[in-house]
């Protein structure tokens, strides 16, 4: 039987999928049509959950954070005329401070996407279960009853070959060819805004040392867009919006882009090097279904968010995490095929909420334009100049800036998403997007939530509770008197961890923390989500656990 998985696309999502499968003992063929990794910096915000997932597969989150910009450098968002001023307001950029350590071992960091991807590639290079081929394009997929046949084309030679795979993960990006071939439509608006993305190098330290930041939103009427600082001394992107009805994307050649950069900086800089110019179209869309037969969409192939929220890469990585353990469980015979249906049930609602929020963030920025430009389109310049002369005096401006705060504080979206599906026992219904406070993360132990991070002691060493959870099997964390559950877990080859026995948490009691009795337990999936709360050991714990696992994993019977 074919057990290998084909992953089409080696962006961050495809690469992490390969590593996640390998940690489950599942082999994959990872292909990308590019001969070399992309150099465009694109994503910068890598959030705590993504870092936790990286760490769990052996890509050190601390090493990633060490490569990211420091919180002093990248801890702010600024609203400015041009980079030379004036400044209309400043907000903190996400939770990068030590307070976040109460909720995650790895606070958000700002690291350019190519550096992030290089760290994944380095881990893949030493992983024998992953065959990684670049310069290979997937041109088609055909379904057989028990496997998939993919047609691959070698980009350089144009030679074609067929490979078989048990399943395909389509991580082939926003314009996913596989999604289109499967006829999967997208819900939501397309082409909301056309941008030219100008990647350039310049040392802008002198312009920004007194006002460090990661995002600079530009409001001077003669310039438009946002400057992204990946490294203030070198790597920048100007996202410049344009109207395709009035301007041709091809008109943004190098001389024109140099001028746009100079306008955005408000001053000419001598060492400006334009590295790359490319169009980028903003949409707010989610695939109607995440599955076509044995092909599963993940990452940008499944959802296209406005960049206002920094959620694209981060959401895609969790897609991969959710999908990969399920595919592995089915291939290992530990779960029935129906478990795979829960991938869409669990991940699509998260994408819908994240799309809605990213769109709301983008819309709210228009309020700032309205404040700065005033109600009369013929008097924009005068209105702007009056406020720019003394921004601090304008109360409406301060309020408009303050209204942007949730855009840059989405801690709850990053960590607090929950699942409700047949793979979760008694999960509470999901909240409507409008009822979610995106900034306020309240760790909880209800079914469907991710196990909260806590600092605990294991073998005399301080560590995150999350680091004790295996990625390749279920685990039971039990109360101090949960010996019977641990024994049952071990009989079923699950990990078993008893509170204040296998690890120590001196700052609270199990009962206060989880609301369970000392003999209770939490059943955790390999992705760290709580599959069930088990309160009493009455009857036969082994039989109970076996029946529960069979049900959650869509199996009729589970062998002890
Ligand atoms: C300016 C900018 C800033 C951003 N900032 C953030 C941020 O701060 N945080 C965040 O989370 N996200 C951010 N994003 C979004 C983020 O870059 C994307 O969400 C992320 O790259 C998606 O990863 P992916 O692996 O799904 O797809 P991609 O990165 O697009 O990778 C897809 C890969 O598939 C390959 N491929 C496509 N078709 C085929 C085929 N037929 N055969 C073989 N290979 C194929 C491509 O060559 C490509 O390498 C930003 C995006 C932009 C443009």
Instruction: Name the pLDDT band for 346 (thresholds 50, 70, 90).
Output: very high
Q: Is the CB of residue 50 below 6 angstroms from any atom belonging to ligand 1?
A: no
% of residues, the chain, pLDDT over 90: 95
Q: What is the mean pLDDT of residues 177-193?
A: 97
Instruction: Name the pLDDT band for 556 (thresholds 50, 70, 90).
Output: low
Q: Give per-residue pLDDT as tens, 157-169.
A: 999 999 999 999 9
Within-domain flag for 54: yes
Q: What pLDDT is attached to residue 2?
A: 79
Q: Give per-residue pLDDT as tens, 527-537.
A: 999 999 998 76
User: Are 199 and 181 in the same domain?
Assistant: no
Q: Give the residue from 409, 431, 452 where a domain finishes.
A: 409
Q: Is the CB of residue 100 below 6 angstroms from any atom belonging to ligand 1?
A: no
Residue 465 sits in a domain whose CATH number is 3.40.30.120
User: Are 388 and 531 in the same domain?
Assistant: no
Q: Which of 404, 307, 392, 423 is nearest to 358 (CA)?
A: 307
Which residue minimizes the CA distance to atom 52 of ligand 1?
42
User: Are 537 and 424 in the same domain?
Assistant: yes
Within-domain flag for 363: no
- How many angstroms does the Cα of residue 219 sit away from the middle of ligand 1? 28
Within-domain flag for 365: no
User: How distant, in Å, are the alpha carbons of 53, 109, 110, 295 from that of 42?
Assistant: 20, 14, 11, 26
Q: How far apart are CA 282 and CA 269, in angstroms?
A: 29
Q: How far apart are CA 40 and CA 278, in angstroms?
A: 9
For 276, half-sphere exposure in the C-beta direction (CA atoms, 13 angstrom radius) is 13
Q: What pLDDT is attached to residue 1?
A: 62
Q: Is the CB of residue 43 below 6 angstroms from any atom belonging to ligand 1?
A: yes
User: Are 477 and 551 in the same domain?
Assistant: yes
Residue 88 sits in a domain whose CATH number is 3.30.9.10
Pairing mode, strands 5-8 and 28-32: parallel
Atom of ligand 1 nearest to the CA of 311: 11
Which residue minimizes the CA distance to atom 15 of ligand 1?
312
Q: What is the mean pLDDT of residues 218-247?
A: 96
CB atoms within 10 A of CB 558: 17
Atom of ligand 1 nearest to the CA of 45: 8
Atom of ligand 1 nearest to the CA of 316: 26
Q: Give the residue from 385, 409, 433 where a domain finishes.
A: 409
Atom of ligand 1 nearest to the CA of 38: 49
- How many angstroms does the Cα of residue 278 sit away from the middle of ligand 1? 14
pLDDT at 554 over 60: yes
Instruction: Name the pLDDT band for 221 (thresholds 50, 70, 90).
Output: very high
User: Are 440 and 540 in the same domain?
Assistant: yes
Q: Is the CB of residue 34 below 6 angstroms from any atom belonging to ligand 1?
A: yes
Atom of ligand 1 nearest to the CA of 312: 19
Q: What is the mean pLDDT of residues 85-113?
A: 96
Which residue minimizes the CA distance to atom 39 of ligand 1?
172
User: Are 135 and 230 in the same domain?
Assistant: no
- How many angstroms does the Cα of residue 138 sit away from the middle of ligand 1? 17
Q: Is the CB of residue 312 below 6 angstroms from any atom belonging to ligand 1?
A: yes
Q: Is the CB of residue 240 below 6 angstroms from any atom belonging to ligand 1?
A: no
Containing structural domain, residue 300: 5-68+111-185+288-355
Q: How far apart are CA 319 and CA 329, in angstroms?
A: 16
Q: Is the CB of residue 8 below 6 angstroms from any atom belonging to ligand 1?
A: yes
Residue 308 sits in a domain whose CATH number is 3.50.50.60
Q: Is the CB of residue 13 below 6 angstroms from any atom belonging to ligand 1?
A: yes
pLDDT at 439 over 50: yes
pLDDT at 559 over 50: no
Atom of ligand 1 nearest to the CA of 299: 26
Q: Is the CB of residue 349 below 6 angstroms from any atom belonging to ligand 1?
A: no
Residues 310/316/321/325 CA torsion (nearest 10 deg): 170
Q: What pLDDT is attached to residue 224?
A: 87
pLDDT at 50 over 50: yes
Question: Hey, which bits of 347-479 come out as E strands?
Answer: 455-458, 461-464, 475-478
Q: Is the CB of residue 306 below 6 angstroms from any atom belonging to ligand 1?
A: no
> Which long-range CB contacts under 8 A does 253-260 form with residues at least 24 apart?
253/277, 257/196, 257/198, 257/200, 260/196, 260/198, 260/223
Within-domain flag for 361: no
pLDDT at 557 over 60: no
Which residue minimizes the CA distance to atom 37 of ligand 1?
172
Atom of ligand 1 nearest to the CA of 31: 43
Instruction: Name the pLDDT band for 285 (thresholds 50, 70, 90).
Output: very high
- How many angstroms does the Cα of residue 33 sit away from the middle of ligand 1? 13
User: Are 558 and 446 in the same domain?
Assistant: yes
Within-domain flag for 414: no
Q: Is the CB of residue 310 below 6 angstroms from any atom belonging to ligand 1?
A: yes
Within-domain flag for 248: yes
Q: How far apart are CA 155 and CA 157, in angstroms?
A: 6
User: Are 161 and 214 in the same domain?
Assistant: no
Atom of ligand 1 nearest to the CA of 313: 11
- How many angstroms does the Cα of residue 245 sit away from the middle of ligand 1? 27
**What region, left, alpha or beta, does residue 296 occupy, with left being phi > 0 and alpha being psi -120 to 50 degrees?**
beta
Q: Is the CB of residue 137 below 6 angstroms from any atom belonging to ligand 1?
A: yes
Within-domain flag for 369: no
Q: Is the CB of residue 113 below 6 angstroms from any atom belonging to ligand 1?
A: yes
Atom of ligand 1 nearest to the CA of 32: 44
Q: What pLDDT is attached to residue 206?
A: 96
pLDDT at 292 over 90: yes
Q: What pLDDT is attached to residue 435?
A: 87
Instruction: Name the pLDDT band for 276 (thresholds 50, 70, 90).
Output: very high
Mean of the per-residue pLDDT values for the chain?
96
- Ligand 1 test: best mutation among 10, 18, 43, most atoms within 8 Å of CB? 43
pLDDT at 558 over 50: no
Q: Is the CB of residue 7 below 6 angstroms from any atom belonging to ligand 1?
A: no
| Total number of domains in the chain | 3
User: Are 380 and 476 in the same domain?
Assistant: no
Radius of gyration of the chain from its Cα atoms, rounded to whole angstroms: 25
Q: Give per-residue pLDDT as tens, 202-215.
A: 999 999 999 999 99
Tokens of 491: 């009989």
Which residue minimizes the CA distance to atom 29 of ligand 1?
11
User: Are 226 and 337 in the same domain?
Assistant: no
Instruction: Name the pLDDT band for 434 (thresholds 50, 70, 90).
Output: confident
User: Are 469 and 509 in the same domain?
Assistant: yes
Question: Hey, which bits of 333-492 come out as E strands?
Answer: 455-458, 461-464, 475-478
Within-domain flag for 463: yes
- How many angstroms does the Cα of residue 379 sit away from the middle of ligand 1? 41
pLDDT at 560 over 60: no
User: Are 260 and 299 in the same domain?
Assistant: no
């Amino acid at each position: 039987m074919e057990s290998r998985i084909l992953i089409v696309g080696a962006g961050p999502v495809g690469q992490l999928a390969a590593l996640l499968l390998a940690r489950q003992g599942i082999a994959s063929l990872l292909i990308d049509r590019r001969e070399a990794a992309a150099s465009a910096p694109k994503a910068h915000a890598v959030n705590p959950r993504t870092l936790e997932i990286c760490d769990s597969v052996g890509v050190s989150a601390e090493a990633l954070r060490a490569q990211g910009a420091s919180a002093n450098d990248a801890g702010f968002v600024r609203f400015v005329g041009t980079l030379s001023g004036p400044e209309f307001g400043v907000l903190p950029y996400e939770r990068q401070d030590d307070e976040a350590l109460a909720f995650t071992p790895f606070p958000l960091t700002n690291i350019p996407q190519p550096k992030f991807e290089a760290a994944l590639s380095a881990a893949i290079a030493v992983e024998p279960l992953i065959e990684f081929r670049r310069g290979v394009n997937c041109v088609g997929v055909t379904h057989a009853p028990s496997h998939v046949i993919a047609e691959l084309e070698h980009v350089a030679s144009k030679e074609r070959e067929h490979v078989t795979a048990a399943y395909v993960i389509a991580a082939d990006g926003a314009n996913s060819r596989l999604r289109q071939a499967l006829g999967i439509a997208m819900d939501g608006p397309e082409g909301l805004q056309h941008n030219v993305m100008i990647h350039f190098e310049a040392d802008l330290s002198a312009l920004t040392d007194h006002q460090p930041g990661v995002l600079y939103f530009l409001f001077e009427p003669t310039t438009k867009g946002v400057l992204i600082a990946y490294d203030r001394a070198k790597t920048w992107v100007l996202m410049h919006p344009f109207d395709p009805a009035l301007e041709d994307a091809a008109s943004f050649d190098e001389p024109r882009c140099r001028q746009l950069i100079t306008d955005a900086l408000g001053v000419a800089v001598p060492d400006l090097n334009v590295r790359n110019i490319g169009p980028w179209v903003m949409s707010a869309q989610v695939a109607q279904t995440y599955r076509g037969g044995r092909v599963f969409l993940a990452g940008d192939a499944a959802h296209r968010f406005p960049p206002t929220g920094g959620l694209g890469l981060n959401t895609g990585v969790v897609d991969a995490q959710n999908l990969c353990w399920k595919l592995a469980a089915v291939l290992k015979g530990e779960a029935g095929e129906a478990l795979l249906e829960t991938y869409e049930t669990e991940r699509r609602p998260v994408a819908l909420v994240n799309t809605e929020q990213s769109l709301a963030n983008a819309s709210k920025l228009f309020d700032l334009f309205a404040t700065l430009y005033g109600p009369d389109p013929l008097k924009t310049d005068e209105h702007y100049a009056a406020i720019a002369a003394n921004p601090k005096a304008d109360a409406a401006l301060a309020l408009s800036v303050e209204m942007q705060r949730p855009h840059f504080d989405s801690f709850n979206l990053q960590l607090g998403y929950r699942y409700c599906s047949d793979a979760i026992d008694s999960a509470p219904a999901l909240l409507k997007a409008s009822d979610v406070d995106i900034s306020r993360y309240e760790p909880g132990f209800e079914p469907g939530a991710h196990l909260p991070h806590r600092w605990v002691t294991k073998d005399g060493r301080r560590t995150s509770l999350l680091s004790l959870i295996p990625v390749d099997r279920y685990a039971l964390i039990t109360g101090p008197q949960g010996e019977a559950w641990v024994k049952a877990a071990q009989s079923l080859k699950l990990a078993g961890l008893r509170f204040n026995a296998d690890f120590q948490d001196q700052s609270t009691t199990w009962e206060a923390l989880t609301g369970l009795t000392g003999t209770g337990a939490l059943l955790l999936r390999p992705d760290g989500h709580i599959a069930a709360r088990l309160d009493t050991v009455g009857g036969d714990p082994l039989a109970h656990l076996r029946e529960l696992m069979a049900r959650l994993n869509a199996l009729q019977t589970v062998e002890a």
